[in-house]
Amino acid sequence: MDKKKATVLCIDDEEMIRVTIGDFLEDSGYCVLQAENGKTGLKLFREAKPDIILVDLMMPEVDGFEVLTQVKTESPQTPVIVISGTGVIQDVIEAIRRGAWDYLTKPVMNLAVLEHTVNKTLEKAVLIRENEDYKKYLEEKVRDRTLELEKINTQLRSTLQETVNALSAMTDKRDPYTSGHQKRVSSLAAAIAEEMGLCGDTVESIRISGLLHDIGKIYVPAEFLAKPTRLEREEMDVIRKHSFVGYDILININFPWPVAEIVYQHHERIDGSGYPRGLKGGEILLESKIIAIADVVEAMSSHRPYRASLDIEEALREIRKNKGRTYCPECAEAFFEFFRKQSGTIKNLFR
Ligand SMILES: [Fe+2]
Ligand SMILES: [Fe+2]
């Protein structure tokens, strides 16, 4: 700090000390304000906002301790040096506790020592202020950058959602008889996951995977999908390839979740009777086990080219009968619980 611009407020009830210190520091280039007691000192402190305060401890009415407390409360960055002749160690400790930056004893025999202390204290105050300013600057930078990243993240999520919707709609175009199937499976599977208390990120992965789980059907000839009669074994074999084809399409998309693998496993059954790999129990992802239930419920309660839509009761019977055999029991329980909460009707099952 340029000492010519630095203002020192000297508060002391002994005029001789005040004037001696004032004259010396003014000769050294400081601007010095003087106050003969604590009350006037605090008034000057509030009006002139000095860069540093020198204060005596023992003064009538408002003493140095009170001045320290007030300055610390109103302007903690203003340094205060206590100059006192009490010579009692408890006073020093109390002054430091109340926020004094330094302590000198009276009489000040060497005024050059006082000037040195004032200089060093002011330098320290400037460093602290610069440090705080820099900290504030960094905090603002971090806040701005975080907001920017949040914005980019929101844009990316929205792009991902639009892309998934477009891919999902592509399957619907190919197979209009089951149009909306993936959307309904996605919503029911996400509801089951929520019912199981899974975290938001897992629910989201199930919702996205549900929207894409039958994307591999673009490989299946349209006439197989629209066939009004039961499929032949060879035709069924082709249809069953849709799990792997879906995996193959999705594996190179860098989703934040294992969407390709979830899709690959959505026709697996916990007893190993599913396809295409005959995986069992713990080998199957929880996400796929949940989608498997939603898939069966949606398929059984919707119209198909080869049959009219079945009653929801039929789907419930299927899940109840095979709970723990082909379907994960916890996932099935969560489905029944969710179904109960929808007042046992199919109306709100696929939100
Ligand atoms: Fe499927
Ligand atoms: Fe499906």
Say which residue, 305 or 175, is predicted with more confidence.
175
Domain 150-341 is found in CATH 1.10.3210.10: yes
Distance between Cα 345 and ligand 1 center (Å): 24
Q: By C-alpha distance, which of 48, 52, 3, 44 is closest to 26?
A: 3
Distance between Cα 216 and ligand 1 center (Å): 8
DSSP 139-185: HHHHHHHHHHHHHHHHHHHHHHHHHHHHHHHHHHHH-GGGTTHHHHH
Look up the pTM and report it.
0.69
Sign of the Cα pseudo-torsion (82, 87, 93, 98, in order) = negative
Tokens standing for residue 113: 């020592």
Domain extents for the chain? 7-135, 150-341
Backbone angles phi, psi at 338, to 5 degrees: -65, -40
Distance between Cα 266 and ligand 1 center (Å): 7
Residues 35-82 pLDDT 10s? 999 999 999 999 999 999 999 999 988 999 999 999 999 999 999 999
Residues 124-174 pLDDT 10s? 999 999 999 999 999 999 999 999 999 999 999 999 999 999 999 988 888
Distance between Cα 267 and ligand 1 center (Å): 6
Nearest ligand to residue 266 Cα: 1
Where residue 280 falls among pLDDT bands split at 50, 70, 90? very high
Cα 343 to Cα 295, 296, 315, distances in angstroms: 21, 20, 16
Distance between Cα 333 and ligand 1 center (Å): 22
User: How far is it, in rounded angstroms, from Cα 128 to Cα 216?
Assistant: 64
| Mean pLDDT along residues 300-324 | 80
DSSP 266-330: TT--TBS-SSSS--BGGGS-HHHHHHHHHHHHHHHTS-BTTBPPPPHHHHHHHHHHHBTTTB-HH
Sign of the Cα pseudo-torsion (173, 177, 182, 188, in order) = positive
Q: pLDDT at position 348, please?
A: 67
CATH homologous superfamily of 7-135: Response regulator (3.40.50.2300)
User: How far is it, in rounded angstroms, from Cα 157 to Cα 19?
Assistant: 71
Where residue 343 falls among pLDDT bands split at 50, 70, 90? confident
Tokens standing for residue 166: 């477009």
